[in-house]
Structure 1
């Protein structure tokens, strides 16, 4: 049976998978916003579109609730990998996926794909790669003034842009208050994901997250990698880091070759059909 949508969460960060081989959807900004809306639609932190088959490789698109498209999502990649296992698209424990932010390598740590490790690639702190306005430089511990607060920020790209803010007591309220202003600051021409970071000890950090195009989220894979990489670059942690978020914990390993590995869980929520009324609005005419 070909369902219209499949829903999963990774530590409370929930995505809808829509398989173009099973449902013909018009992914206009209006339709994306409607599907993701938690009152008028199915409700999610984004939509994963795939598998998109290009030769022998599998690609996916990652759509934010505001209709924009994300280059990469750690949780999204883990969720999509679990979907590929559930629907029989992959039968091996190791495979690769193409994203707009580059290729990622997946390893299933159990037969069902409930625990997954992702090689997220390498990070860069260079302003021209993230991007961050101003002269070419590594963006480390730079001051950013937001609402009268002087914030220490380190910016990083892991295929998508992040601004990591050292903060004494990060909270949901902090992310909701300061996150939108940082995301849309003129220093960041493509907008930016934001993490408020507290170092707990050499192997544990705590973050609160404001995601570009999605808002406040309970967990994020790429945010975990970015925050851990920033803390490591600043000499605040060792190379094996547990990232604590409201939704749970992701393990990040920073290898000597510069690759960042992320390990976390995925849970299936459900699968189903759009009502005739909603389907009439979102199907490709």
Structure 2
């Protein structure tokens, strides 16, 4: 059986779409690592596996390049939604998509799905729901010691866990230096995504991202939602925020009822067939 794949990026964050209705493959941890490897495989920040159809809706699995499974990905949702348009699964302007982190509402802002708005749902700062170890509380502006450095963090979930580090200055080097240590800290039993955040003004923030299971990332939709929500919760920004990342900018709108909306772009990169050499390694 031929192995079809489709590749997209959202502001430099790239994913491979594998459609189980077209390609049957054992996505073991080993195979996921191989497919996502940038030297030995196709290369990507993860795999979007779907669509699956049940409960009268479309569902998606989001697989990290280390073989783990993510509950939700803002960029992944937008890229997969674009694939559904390209493949002819979706012809309407709006639809609902099921993820491990809950259902989201997707709206296409143009005919081909290159600009997409997603209702990412509400956020919670409650430690039990993120989760964060310790007593039940909202995790706001707490001190954490990492690599003998004291940092202030705010943690939240938007269907997946996030740790926001407020900084006067941010850099890729800081994200790489501290990201893995924060991700794997004992306070975070399910590991955690990390954003290093600098407030530019009331409507603009800048972030560097360390993504759970993927590492340093040029952009992230759920990280943009988390960082904007944390800054809003702390009173540092208004409810309409442009999130600036190395890969580009995402618009976040936070409504009075707590719903978080994300608007961003998607670009199709490639579609093709896996070679017999790599296919033989995968099916072993």
**Shorter-chain TM-score: which interval?**
over 0.9
Give 1:169 deviation, angstroms. 1.1
Give 1:3 deviation, angstroms. 6.1
**Residue ranges of structure 2 left out of the alignment (5+ in a row):** none
Note the alpha carbon deviations across 1:211-256, whole angstroms, 9 max, x for none: 0000000000000000000000000000000000000000000001
Is structure 2 residue 51 aligned with structure 1 residue 51? Answer: yes
Aligned to 1:128, the other structure's residue is in SS state helix
- Tell me the number of residue pairs that the alignment of Structure 1 and Structure 2 aligns: 283
Contact kept in structure 2, 1:166 and 1:197, CA below 8 Å: yes
Aligned to 2:127, the other structure's residue is in SS state coil
Partner of 1:137: 137
Partner of 1:161: 161
Contact kept in structure 2, 1:3 and 1:271, CA below 8 Å: no
Contact kept in structure 2, 1:253 and 1:260, CA below 8 Å: yes
Give 1:55 deviation, angstroms. 3.6
Give 1:282 deviation, angstroms. 2.0
Give 1:257 deviation, angstroms. 1.4
Contact kept in structure 2, 1:204 and 1:243, CA below 8 Å: yes
Partner of 1:41: 41
Partner of 2:6: 6
Is structure 2 residue 226 aligned with structure 1 residue 234? Answer: no
Give 1:109 deviation, angstroms. 0.2
Aligned to 2:49, the other structure's residue is in SS state strand
Give 1:281 deviation, angstroms. 2.4
Note the alpha carbon deviations across 1:85-141, whole angstroms, 9 max, x for none: 001101101000000000000000000100000000000000000000000000000
Contact kept in structure 2, 1:72 and 1:160, CA below 8 Å: yes
Per the normalisation by structure 1, the TM-score is: 0.98
Note the alpha carbon deviations across 1:54-95, whole angstroms, 9 max, x for none: 142000000000000000000000000000000110110100
The aligned runs of 1:192-271 (5 Å cut-off) are 192-271=192-271
Give 1:23 deviation, angstroms. 0.6
Per the normalisation by structure 2, the TM-score is: 0.98
Of residues 2-11 and 204-213 in structure 1, the stretch that sits farther from structure 2 once superposed is 2-11
